[in-house]
A and B are shown apart, each in its own frame.
Chain A
Amino acid sequence: MIFPDGTEALQNISFDLSRGEFITIVGPSGCGKSTLLKIASGLLEPTNGNVTVDRERLGYVFQDATLLPWRTVSKNVELLAELHGTGIQERKKLVQESIELVGLEGFEDHYPKSLSGGMKMRCSLARSLTLKPPVFLFDEPFGAVDEITREHLNEETQQLFKQEGFAGLFITHSISEAVFMSTKVLVMSARPGRIVAEFDIPFEYPRKPDLRFEADFAELCGKVSVELRGSHS
């Protein structure tokens, strides 16, 4: 990917992602992670190379929740099904299911302005879940929430991944978040963005919060960290 101003954002990136896989890309700020995701989603066209993604019912969670402030929680969750022309009965059912999946029952009639950061993100997740997406892209979605909420959201995300069986592609710069949720972690370097290392994460699902304190977990995080630092210099 080369931008019109000559910046080469991404170079020789190649990987496959299939159902049952959850790949997380970690990399320093400005390494082109978000660009990669925009290309995968079709928001950007690559200058050369091929991307093949099933974009019919694409799940995509943005850096911020991008909720429409004039819609209540349930109306926000309903939006994508509306855009895809789903019938009203089916829509109501999907909305209810998705809201339950992310634990927002009781908040259906709240407007976004009265929700906390974590709840906004849940609402955003629920919105994509109504599509039952085969592919789910996450663009650093939990960067703006506090640490405790983030750990909860990580746990919930890997549960959803197991339950719904989508193929997940997650972007973050938090190593422990990456290792905790993924089946595979890719480390990216900056300028131009390249993949410099690849780690398979062997832990069983569902993963429990205690996993974060185990030696294997710490060791893997350490390895990823070393690669990440190497890519930075």
Chain B
Amino acid sequence: MSIIEEKQTSSSTIPTQPSRTKKYVAAFMPPLILGAGVIGLWYYISFGLLEEKRRFLLRPIHSVIDVGFLDGDNRSESLQALWSSTEVALIGLSISIGLGFILAILMSQAKFMERAIFPYMVTLQAIPILAIVPLISFWFGTGQRSRVVVCVIISLFPIIVNTLFGLQSAERGMHDLFTLHHANRLTRLRKLMFPAALPAVFAGLRISAGLSVIGAVVGDFFFGKGEAGIGQMLKKHANRLQGEELLSCVILSSALGVLVFWLFGVLQNKAVGRWHEANSATS
């Protein structure tokens, strides 16, 4: 038997692509230029618009770095708080992942399960955190446990929705194939629905990872008992009008968010990059 299609050459071996340096320049120049612009504007506001007395509203960037990051005491205090919040975020995210997978799998197995559970998930998602802060403190106290609860409530929904969507994304024909060959529920789940779900699962994980950091900071803001996290630091510095420290904490917490988002992007590429068509370019 003959093969009439030509062997496809993978695009990475084509020698006509632009040189590496050019590619890096194209990738990094636009954000660098914009970043420089933002810093320029920042200085203009600090020194141009604000008088000396009101400069605490927006401290110039070099003094934020100076006071917030280079001062030993402040730095170790901030990093300790960051670590405490990271811990909360990781615990919360792990619980969300476990719970989200279980619920999504249950819902994927029977339509009536989906009908029963899904409305409550939407409701849970719709509750403003602020509204249930008193309840949470009744039930779980004002320590780390409550911070984790807030983190879970905030980060659970995207995992459930994306995992469920992923589990249901295998094509009809593939299901027919498994039916024809008498695959049982577990085999179908393991060999068809799970792998098919992976791209969507990772999309959900990336969103939830970012949200878990937000949840940890928000939770910490409300429930400050025990080790202080970033939320407590923000509160403290805001009360004392410590602009530099305040901004450094904002920068740290968003850096943490970016880091986990990026980490899950790398994991996603490792897990599905080889076969998935819309292999994500922005990571």
Are A70 and B272 in contact, CB atoms less than 8 angstroms apart?
Answer: yes
Residues B1-53 near A (CB distance < 8 A): 1-5, 7-8, 10
Closest A residue to B2 by beta carbon equals A103
Are A103 and B195 in contact, CB atoms less than 8 angstroms apart?
Answer: no
- Residues on A lying within 8 angstroms of B by beta carbon are 41-43, 55, 58, 60, 62-64, 66, 68-71, 79-80, 82-84, 101-104, 106-107, 111-116, 118-119, 148-149, 152, 156, 159
Report how many residues on chain B are interfacial, defined by Cβ distance under 8 Å: 30
Q: Could you show 19 A-B contacts with beta carbons less than 8 Å apart?
A: A43-B179, A43-B180, A55-B180, A60-B177, A66-B171, A68-B192, A69-B275, A70-B276, A82-B191, A83-B178, A83-B182, A84-B181, A102-B1, A103-B1, A111-B275, A112-B275, A114-B10, A116-B8, A119-B5
- Residues on B lying within 8 angstroms of A by beta carbon are 1-5, 7-8, 10, 171, 173-174, 176-183, 187, 191-192, 195-196, 198, 272, 274-277
Closest A residue to B182 by beta carbon equals A83
Are B8 and A68 in contact, CB atoms less than 8 angstroms apart?
Answer: no
Query: What residues on B are CB-neighbors of A148 within 8 Å?
Result: 4
Are A62 and B5 in contact, CB atoms less than 8 angstroms apart?
Answer: no
Closest A residue to B7 by beta carbon equals A106
Q: Closest approach, in angstroms, between the C-beta of A101 and any C-beta of chain B?
A: 7
Are B2 and A42 in contact, CB atoms less than 8 angstroms apart?
Answer: no
Query: Contact partner of B195 among A70, A106, A152, CB < 8 A?
Result: A70
Query: What residues on B are CB-neighbors of A82 within 8 Å?
Result: 191
Query: Contact partner of A42 among B5, B180, B275, CB < 8 A?
Result: B180
Q: Closest approach, in angstroms, between the C-beta of B228 and any C-beta of chain A?
A: 45
Query: What residues on A are CB-neighbors of B276 within 8 Å?
Result: 69-70
Closest A residue to B178 by beta carbon equals A83
Are B176 and A43 in contact, CB atoms less than 8 angstroms apart?
Answer: yes
A101→B3 CA distance, assembly (Å): 11
A107→B7 CA distance, assembly (Å): 9
Query: What residues on B are CB-neighbors of A66 within 8 Å?
Result: 171, 173-174, 176-177
Are B1 and A149 in contact, CB atoms less than 8 angstroms apart?
Answer: no
Query: Contact partner of B180 among A60, A71, A102, A107, CB < 8 A?
Result: A60
Contacts A63-B173, A66-B177 aside, 7 further interface pairs with beta carbons under 8 A come to A43-B180, A70-B196, A70-B272, A103-B3, A104-B3, A111-B275, A149-B5
Most central of A58, A68, A112, A156 by chain B CB within 10 Å? A68
CB-CB under 8 A for A83 and B187, given A68-B192, A70-B195: yes
Are A70 and B198 in contact, CB atoms less than 8 angstroms apart?
Answer: yes
Query: What residues on B are CB-neighbors of A71 within 8 Å?
Result: 275
Query: What residues on A are CB-neighbors of B5 within 8 Å?
Result: 116, 118-119, 149
Most central of A66, A101, A113, A149 by chain B CB within 10 Å? A66
Q: Closest approach, in angstroms, between the C-beta of A78 and any C-beta of chain B?
A: 11
